[in-house]
Amino acid sequence: MRPVSDSGSGGLFGELFGRGLAGPSDRDWLQAMLDTEAALARALERAGLAPAGTGAAVTAAAIAENFDIAEIGRAAVLIGNPVSALVRALSAAVPPDAREAVHRGATSQDIIDTAAMLLARRGIDAIDADLRAAAGRAADLARQHADLVMAGRTLLQQAVPVTFGLVAAGWLTAIDEARRELDRVRATRLAVQFGGAAGTLASLGDAGPAVAALLATELGLPEPVLPWHTDRQRIIQLAAALAGVCAAAGLVARNVTLLAQTEVAEVAEGGGAPGQGGSSAMPHKRNPVVSVLILGCTRRVPGLLATLTAAAEQEHQRAAGAWHAEWETLSELLRLTGSASSWLASLLTGLLIDPVRMRANLEASGGLPLAEHVTAMLAPILGRLAAHDLVAAAADRAASQHISLPEALVADPAAAATLRDAGIGPAELARAADPARYLGAAAEFVGRALAAHGQLADGA
């Protein structure tokens, strides 16, 4: 059988778990390292440590397509990372009078860490674009369905009623809070790395700090207080922010899978390609496949976060293995977060809501989720504990006899007598069992979420 090439494609699983633009490829890593080397050459020239034109010459040569990724990768085994081979190849590609500026003052970790920061910045920008689209759609859903009553559910059982607008507002707030943290990390934690062999920049003499500042300026990254070779809090904070995005995406996706179950059917995925949601065996299936793919991404993220956290304990001025464990782990985390965010925007854009089914599911409960409301109505008359016991007994009868809670209350002679003495009849019980009359601060909370989202959008 002739092997099938995946050249130019995402391979068998790339379209599922590598969606979006956040996940760096080997070429992206190479270009980010080259961008760092080129920026260093420009910084050295600006500091008066390289001849005029050096920066432009190195920058012109620092194009990933000009280099053999496979050859650089093979040579990486000699020192445990690809930078030395890259430096040799880049030096050979620039004019002789510019070669002394290639990699001057730097160590391999400076180049790889700074490249990681550039890739993280690019990834965050892509992720945020998808999150912004997802949040906009969640805001639309919250606004449009602020008064749409549905069953609240706790421990997967019907609880007191909520509105779908409140559910969507919860999604919106989670997404917006993840965006805020991601923005904070992008603005303040993606610092340049430049410390030389052991964090002193000794090879540059007194000019070291000035070159570091110029390198940061060239790359548009913050300059840290000092090199952070074995202080990996920036990596942990970046990883945690990405995990927060996945937590928000997973919240929405899990809600949708539960609400889209055949027996619930209150929402459904829509807007996909023909055949999306089908099954290889069952022609009738309409699976919530987008939600499933989001969860397929997000379930892998906690392990990646744990790896990066474990790798943060590093020795002296250079780690013996922990630093190396970060590279592919961070790439995978960016890729999966970007994919989940892209799928999330698609999910919310096409989400279909079924108000009729929501109402039917509420009515099927026979008013049992309103037991708290009925108890609150009776408590001032009967006392809180007596009211609780009376309603609890009626709820048991309603469940066992398949009748409504108001029917169960009036069907029991003792309970009916107590209610008559309290001046409570069927009309009062019906009002107490009306879901629309027991929504608490749902409308206010929706308004708060939309206001907070508006402030974030105004500041974007």
Report d(CA 30, CA 86) in Å as an integer.
8
Q: What confidence score (pLDDT) does residue 275 get?
A: 56
Residue 166 tokens read as: 């409140």
339 a catalytic residue: no
Say if residues 131 and 175 touch (Cβ distance below 8 Å): yes
Report d(CA 167, CA 252) in Å as an integer.
9
Q: What confidence score (pLDDT) does residue 284 get?
A: 52
Say if residues 132 and 46 touch (Cβ distance below 8 Å): no
Cβ atoms within 10 Å, residue 32:
24
Point out the residues of the chain with pLDDT beneath 70: 1-10, 272-285, 460
Conformational region of residue 317, where left means phi above 0, alpha means psi within -120 to 50, and beta covers everything else? alpha
Tell the burial category of 263 from Cβ atoms under 10 Å away from its Cβ (0-12, 13-18, 19+): exposed
Q: Which CATH class is domain 107-191+228-361?
A: mainly alpha
Q: What confidence score (pLDDT) does residue 237 get?
A: 98
Query: What is the DSSP secondary structure assignment for residue 406, as one 8-state letter?
Result: H
pTM (whole model) above 0.95: no
What b/e string do you get for 183-216 counting C-beta neighbours within 10 Å, with b at 16 or more?
Answer: bebbeebbbbbbbbbebebeebeebbebbbbbbb
In degrees and rounded to multiples of 5, residue 312 shows phi and psi of: -75, -15
27 a catalytic residue: no
Q: What confidence score (pLDDT) does residue 1 get?
A: 36
CA distances, 2 to each of 5, 8, 9 (Å): 9, 18, 18
Q: What confidence score (pLDDT) does residue 106 get?
A: 98
- The three-state secondary structure class of 44 is helix
Q: Which of 122, 180, 286, 318 is catalytic?
A: 318
264 CB-near residues (< 8 Å, 6+ apart): 258, 357, 361
Report d(CA 6, CA 177) in Å as an integer.
38
51 CB-near residues (< 8 Å, 6+ apart): 45, 97, 98
Report d(CA 55, CA 104) in Å as an integer.
12
Residue 237 tokens read as: 């904070």
Report d(CA 271, CA 350) in Å as an integer.
5
In degrees and rounded to multiples of 5, residue 323 shows phi and psi of: -60, -40
Determine whether domain 23-32+43-101 maps to CATH 1.10.275.10.
yes
Q: What confidence score (pLDDT) does residue 459 get?
A: 72
Say if residues 194 and 106 touch (Cβ distance below 8 Å): yes
**E strand or H helix at 326, and its extent?**
helix 326-350
Q: Which of 74, 184, 203, 279 is catalytic?
A: 279
Residue 178 has, within 13 A of its CA and on its CB side, a CA count of 29
Report d(CA 413, CA 390) in Å as an integer.
12
- How far from the centroid of its chain's Cα atoms is residue 26's Cα? 23
Residue 22 tokens read as: 């956040």
Length of the chain: 460
CATH topology (fold) of 367-432 = Ribonucleotide Reductase Protein R1; domain 1 (1.10.40)
Query: What is the DSSP secondary structure assignment for residue 77, as one 8-state letter?
Result: G
CA distances, 33 to each of 69, 105, 156, 236 (Å): 12, 15, 49, 21
Residue 429 tokens read as: 């019980």
The pLDDT tens digits for 41-92 are: 999 999 999 999 999 999 999 999 999 999 999 999 999 999 999 999 999 9
> Where do the structural domains in the chain lie, given as residue ranges?
23-32+43-101, 107-191+228-361, 367-432
Residue 76 tokens read as: 């990486």
Report d(CA 363, CA 167) in Å as an integer.
19
Report d(CA 86, CA 360) in Å as an integer.
65
